[in-house]
Structure 1
Amino acid sequence: MLDVRRLRLLRDLARLGTIAAVAQARAYTPSAVSQQLAALQREAGVPLLEHTGRSVRLTPAATALVHHTEAVLAALEAASATLAAARTGLSGTVRIGAFPSAVPTLLPAALVALGRDHPALDLMVTELDPVDVPDALRDGRLDVALWHDYDVAPVESDPGVDSVRLLDEKVFLAVPAEGWPDRTVAGTREAAWIVGTPGTLCHTVAMRVCQAAGFTARVRHHADDFTAVLALVAAGQGVALVPELAAAHPPADVRLVPLDVHRRTRIAYRRGAAGHPVIAACVAALESSTSAYLVSPPSA
């Protein structure tokens, strides 16, 4: 019988590439990871790893086993969901992830509703960039998350994650109100840009939008909070891209130009967990809070 914990390590190795990275992600020593993978290889009865110098790579059999592992883990999630549905009431810790602009807009009403309807739930919120969501869900650091991508920078589907569509938003070009007669992306060729931290999705999107307009952005400032981004634009420090959720109340000295770019938000959770009553309650609360926000966003 194959050990599920060892199968998780093999899946991690396929995703992360090195034993050292797996050890860091799981808080193990590299030696412990190697020993567990060696034990899995004995259980499998076929070679799973090939050593090339100081690195390892998966054999074709190991790659096939990783695909089966995703199905096994999804089945375990579904089994847990079935058992949870048989219990009375919802309780326990729920770890919710959200990107920064969703925390003050979509999330508060959902948290209030969940706390009111299911007081035995212990709700914990973590703010994080969308690029970190799949790993956090797979590793159990999150149970449910608001996860987004952009049409100009689509995120590849993850075999360990399922999701439901929540919201599509316009993206705006934010420019100072004065001195910008050409309010197009092409017209910012010589402008300074305010973009997210390298490695974040917002940074990638800004770079791609500028590249599509035929130039490379001249980055002056890095900022990940859209309130700070808009304040910098208002101060004449550059131009930026801002999604609709973050653009409800721009400073008076900022003009927002709608672009043919959209941000797409989904509610994500581990594959197989859709039927878990806690996940279903979170999805319903987030859908309701988003609908209410869109109908009547808070005034400035």
Structure 2
Amino acid sequence: MIGIDSIRIKTKGVVSTNTRNKMAEQQKVTTHRNPDESVYNTYKYRLGGPGDNRMPLLLYTQESGKIELSIPSLPYFIQGSCLTPIREADVPLFYQKISERLAEELDYAVEETIDNWIVPKMDIYHDFHVGNDVRNYLRALKEVSVPTYKTWNINNETVYWRNGSRDIKFYDKHVECIEARKTAMEIEQSEGVLRFEVQLKTSDIQSGVKDGAVTLGTLMSEEVTNNLLNKYLSKIDMNNLLITTEEEMRTTLAERYDSKRAHDIVSFIKAKQSGYGEVISRSTEHRYMTDLRRVGLAPVIAEKQLPPLAIAI
């Protein structure tokens, strides 16, 4: 699947007076003033009408020729559900659908093909189907600390790590669908789903592209999005690592190393989860984390053993 959730794409061009008038009929034109007292006008238009805020929003700044299209949920726009995965075979349909909607509703024919629009921001995601263990995973994940990130836990329904404007998070998708009053189909599809989601900035997106500009066409592939997802799953030391109880962790480590080393590593994990991890040196922490990865264990003690979270490449 292509793991893109929300995305913003942009280009430059000229929008006709007729199209601008249609945009102004739906939403009020916003006038902004620059520090030098010059003004610019922003036109907005929600495809399908203003009633569904999950549909794409088109923005046009007349003075600069800047055109932006914000798509709150790519799966919802293409498939009608935020839980139905996008496949590479769906990409041509998406390009066709977005172009047709712009033409039908606004008489706007894109000058630059959609796949060549630049991507300054997007959120990527992966849905783990874990059944009744969603809360067990979240209780375990809230104990994970990531260097330079601050950890937040919201009612054992959402756990996220924040660094500036970048968020890495896991959450109970079923709860989110119910609270957001999403469709009956989406609520049913979301049962037992643990969603992993990362908010990316331009520099983050660029790291997933080998050469050239970050265009929509270069990002609409399973390989690109899965590589980015695995990068951030590894950042929180959860990529394909078994989550275990204290006893299971101690036994596994003792079998691979020795009982003293097992005791030291388990004590280190317990100290981190109790908030006292800072008394351990950085080099010691690195060594313990490496030891855990070598035996395939996540750096967290849980109430029960939980299968690894893995995303196929």
Give the TM-score taking structure 1 as reference length. Answer: 0.27
Give the TM-score taking structure 2 as reference length. Answer: 0.26
